[in-house]
Amino acid sequence: MLSAQLKMPTAASQPKVEWLTSSRLMPYEEAIAFMDARAASIALGQDAECVWLLEHPPIYTAGTSADPSELLTPGRFPVFKTGRGGRFTYHGPDQRVAYVMLDLAARGRDVRAFVTSLEDWLIATLARLGVAGERHPGQIGIFVGGAKIASIGVRVRRWVSLHGVSLNVDPALEHFSGIMPCGLKDVPVTSLAALGAETDMAAVDQALRDNFEQAFGRETISANDPM
Catalytic residues: 182
Determine the Cα–Cα distance for residues 210 and 146; give it in Å rounded to an integer.
27
Determine the Cα–Cα distance for residues 73 and 215; give it in Å rounded to an integer.
37
Determine the Cα–Cα distance for residues 145 and 158; give it in Å rounded to an integer.
37
Do 184 and 139 form a contact (C-beta atoms < 8 A)? yes
| φ, ψ (nearest 5 deg) of residue 178 | -80, -5
* Closest by Cα among 202, 206, 214 to 23: 202
H or E stretch covering 122: helix 111-128
